[in-house]
Chain A
Amino acid sequence: MFLGVLFSGGKDSVFACKRAMETDSVVCLITIVSENPDSYMFHTPNVRRTDLIAEAMGLPILTWPTRGEEEIELDDLRDAIAAAKERYEIEGVVTGAIESVYQAARVQRICRDLDLWCFNPLWQIDQVEYLRHLVSEGFEVIITGVFAYPLDESWVGARINFGLIKKLESLQKKYRINPSGEGGELETFVLDGPIFRKRIEILKAQKTYDNYRGRLSIEVARLVEK
């Protein structure tokens, strides 16, 4: 089946893309670029860098703008998916949704209206187990945003490895942090992985942090041969 992946450049959409590639043909990535940093639907930090990931993965990308207003942004998402259906003849859409009924139900309705299949290969996955798979399958993921207590500045820009997963596990027990950031606690960016033909090297990034809210904005990055 020809599939398009709703793509933010974060670990969930990249890993969902890998899962889709294992069974079907991913023919395009679909990225919604929101002007609203607090979008209800769309991952925002560094989303403009998804073109670089698409190039690293050797896939075409359809980038669609939205003002990011609640519910209105769904019309933009529908238009983007409809455009992907027409341009790349996709038969279905893949998302990286794990727990969010809000996001999943809305994408399901759009797919139903457009007569497309909808796939959520990470749906209800155990978050710690998932993070371990991500690392053991060779993905290089950095944290580009933290938005919850007690995540301090050291988390911004950190790489997800087995040690960091252990820390997230203990924060889950103590502070009810979702280890994969499903509650909006973390945002991530993927630099390399088994579905990447080239890896991404960050040359310049700006770190900001204040009161348990921090971001790593990638300013200059390039593709490097593997």
Chain B
Amino acid sequence: MILIVDLCHKPRSLSKREFVDPIAAIVRRAGSEYEVAHFTELTEDAIERSDRIILCGTALKDNLFAEEICQFAWIEDLDKPLLGICAGMQVVAAVFGGEIVPQPKIGLEKIEIVRETDLLGPPREIEGYHLHNFGVTLPPGFDLVAGRPGQIEAFKHSERPVYGIIFHPEVRNRWIVEQLVSL
């Protein structure tokens, strides 16, 4: 079961249709069972019974999640695959000691994958949709997977299957979510 975590400013918000439902649709089409929970309503049981977790993105003006990083402390000891998308990547970075830094970007841009991983595959160039006011610094214990220092597009924990991507895979890169389902 995939646990899809909604990071929008409130449960059942209008933004959920834009940032959570498209991810849930990809997971459903990939044939996997899933459960959606808002980050303020997440239970230990839901985390326990999931075998993969996705932290979704949210609206450009929404930074509430960043004021509530303590609610994500459970990620630190997680031993199952996790993908943080945009806001979700910012949460992963903050939990593991990285920083959330101003780095606005909107639109399609080239992304250089620089390190082979199970999630993104071998080094090559792809194009991804960006919608964020903030980026991240590389947390201790993480490897740069795409982009460059100062413009990190993707990272991975060096020992665990914990990933973050700053771009939105629901636009033109659905294969990334499908790949997480099959990891």
Which chain A residues have a beta carbon within 8 Å of chain B's beta carbons? 19-20, 22-24, 92, 94, 101, 105, 108-109, 111-112, 115-126
Contacts and interface: CB of A to CB of B under 8 A. Distances in A.
Contacts of A92: 61
Interface string B7-23: 00000111101100110
Contact of B14 (A23, A101, A111, A112): A23
Given A117-B61, A118-B59, A20 B14 contact: yes
A121 B15 CA distance: 7
Contacts of B15: 119
Interface string B122-134: 0000000101010
A108 B14 contact: no
B133 A112 contact: yes
Interface residues of B, number: 23
A105 B107 contact: yes
Contacts of B131: 105, 108
A124 B59 contact: no
Majority DSSP secondary structure for residues of A touching B: mixed
A13 to B, nearest CB: 15
B61 A116 contact: yes
3 tightest A-B contacts by CB? A124-B22, A121-B17, A105-B107
18 contacts: A20-B14, A23-B13, A108-B131, A109-B106, A111-B60, A112-B61, A112-B106, A117-B62, A118-B61, A119-B15, A121-B14, A121-B18, A123-B18, A123-B22, A124-B25, A124-B170, A124-B171, A125-B25
Given A118-B61, A126-B25, A105 B170 contact: no
A118 B108 contact: no
A112 B105 CA distance: 11
Interface in B59-116: 59-62, 104, 106-108
B108 to A, nearest CB: 6
Nearest to B26: A124
A124 B18 CA distance: 8
Interface in B27-80: 59-62
B129 A101 contact: yes
A220 to B, nearest CB: 36
A24 B104 CA distance: 27
B14 A94 contact: yes
Nearest to A97: B18
Nearest to B23: A124
A75 to B, nearest CB: 17
A24 B14 contact: yes
A149 B113 CA distance: 39
A54 to B, nearest CB: 20
A46 B26 CA distance: 35
A214 to B, nearest CB: 31
